[in-house]
Amino acid sequence: MSDSKTSHGTVIVTSGDISFTLKPTLRAFREIERRFGGVIAAMQAIGVANVSNVSFIIAAGTGVDTGKRKDVEAVEEQVFAAGVNTVTNQVLPFLNALLNPAGKTDAEIEQEKAEASGNE
């Protein structure tokens, strides 16, 4: 069974016995920006089901040092074994979470702005 859960931006990607916990950190955001040119570009890149792209995003989200090729290759092996398509579908919520790590809706953001300016 495969499933993904999002809790305050953290996404757990699972497939069989394999599980990755991806956390939306500034470091992960910057690594993904550096590799893909931005989060939207990363979303587009995983659309082609490239095991290296998906694995890089997972590595960045789990805190693996993406500069160490051997460590990223270990993630690639796990992603390949789990099924690239299965894992790819679960990575998208993580990329979305990077764009809004606080997990707030537009209404919540507007309410906070109004409260901060005293216009409740």
Give 75 or 119, the one with higher predicted confidence: 75
Tell me the C-alpha distance between 15 and 86, whole Å. Answer: 7
Domain that holds residue 102: 2-116
Confidence tier at 17 by pLDDT (50, 70, 90): confident
CA dihedral 29, 32, 38, 39 (to 10 degrees): -70
Number of domains in the chain: 1
pLDDT score for 62: 94
pLDDT score for 15: 80
- Asked if pLDDT for residue 6 goes beyond 90, the answer is no
On whether the pTM is more than 0.85, the answer is no
